Structure 1
Amino acid sequence: MDRFVLTDAQWAKIEPHCLGKLTDPGRSGKNNRLFMEAVLWIVRTGSPWRDLPSTFGNWSTAFRRFRDWREADVFKRIFDALSEETDMEYAMVDATIVKVHRHGQGAKGGPQSQAIGRSKGGMTTKILALTDALGNLVRFELLPGHRFDTIGVAPLIRGIQFGALLGNKAFDSNWIVEELNQRGAQVIISQRPARAQKLKIDAKMYEWRHLIENYFCKLKEFKRIAMRACKTDQSFSAMIYLAAAVINSR
């Protein structure tokens, strides 16, 4: 179980954001650290909640607790706490596709209401991410697998300052180029062959884009991220936040 155990340094940053402290209203939580490691075990292994080892306690209790913390945005706060120091000299944007397990389908409102769509790979979800210059996650958006990457870019970059934006040709859009020009940010985006007026980009700087691709590889080491088994976006996002927090704090 050691590979799923949080370090003391990680836990020191996580603990203040957990529910159930003595100063919180309502019932106090029992062994928040063990519970966090239980959720991390689920995210890392991709196992169903019913398969949670008894070491972590009753699986149903753990799941209900996860649901309560998800509703309270605890995992987002933990991600923010463990991602304090970002290097925004430049930012990178990219997307990755994850297959949706049949257990991840069937939420109220249908798949279209939970960022699930049918693409060449079947039922899929797209994780659109913005990372900093070190390749660490800053923000992400969930999209149905068949939607264009550019659809989720606006909320990703809203209110964030960076010196340049790196992206592949999927992000070669006039509105993105215009937005970056207005900001005074450098455009480091590979261009489509059909673009009439070619833009000069820093080819050497563009090579650094491998960092965001490397990040997706790290993220997909967590099996619950590599294949989505969560019915709702809220649960899937919570697991991404926890995995990203652990990665960013290594």
Structure 2
Amino acid sequence: MSRGDLTEAEWRVLRDLLPIEPENRGRGRPPEQNRSIVNGILWRLRCGAPWRDVPPKYGSWNTIYRRFRRWSEAGVWETVAVTLAEIMADSGHYSIDSTTIRAHVSAAGGKDPMMRVG
């Protein structure tokens, strides 16, 4: 398992939220390999790299992309987000984004002390 991959506890929650793939679906990765596919999707979203750059250890980039797209169109990610938010709320765990970005003084309408009029 690589840094950023799903832990066993995370996977136990997530696997039940993913759709069941039909047995006779044809080519592609079998559903029991969904964990690797989800780890590939998470890697891509975390890094912001193109789909083709997803490391081969997660599977074919094309399979990962197609599964991501199919699940997106089916509303799977919305269901996952709502369910995870409910689980976090029920357990008393909350996540708050504490990102701070410093703006230049002139961005707030103030005078730049480095600018001299004269």
SS of 1:31's equivalent? helix
SS of 2:85's equivalent? coil
> Using the alignment, how far apart are the partners of 1:5 and 1:49 within structure 2?
17
Q: What amino acid is the match of 2:8?
A: D
| TM-aligned CA distance change 1:65 to 1:134, over 3 Å | closer
| Greater per-residue helix proportion | 2
Structure number with the bigger relative contact order (C-alpha 8 A, sep ≥ 6) is 1
Q: What amino acid is the match of 2:6?
A: L
- Root-mean-square deviation over aligned CA pairs: 2.5
SS of 1:6's equivalent? coil
The within-5 A match list for 1:47-66 is 47-66=49-68
The within-5 A match list for 1:157-176 is none
Query: Normalising by the residue count of structure 1, what TM-score does the alignment of the two structures yield?
Result: 0.33
1:42–1:48 contact (8 Å) kept in structure 2: yes
Q: What amino acid is the match of 2:44?
A: I
- Structure 1 unmatched ranges of 5 or more: 88-132, 137-211, 218-250
Identical pairs, percent: 35
| TM-aligned CA distance change 1:135 to 1:54, over 3 Å | same
- CA offsets, 1:4-40, max 9 Å, x none? 210111111111111235xx58636240100000000
Q: Residue 80 of structure 1 aligns with which residue? A: 82
> Using the alignment, how far apart are the partners of 2:58 and 2:73 within structure 1?
21
Deviation at 1:52, TM superposition (A): 1.0
1:34 corresponds to which of 11, 33, 36: 36
- CA offsets, 1:197-242, max 9 Å, x none? xxxxxxxxxxxxxxx451xx3xxxxxxxxxxxxxxxxxxxxxxxxx
SS of 1:17's equivalent? coil
Give the paired residue count. Answer: 93
Is residue 12 from structure 1 mapped to residue 15 from structure 2 by the alignment?
Answer: no
1:42–1:49 contact (8 Å) kept in structure 2: yes
Q: Residue 3 of structure 2 aligns with which residue? A: 3
> Using the alignment, how far apart are the partners of 1:213 and 1:59 within structure 2?
30
Deviation at 1:58, TM superposition (A): 1.2
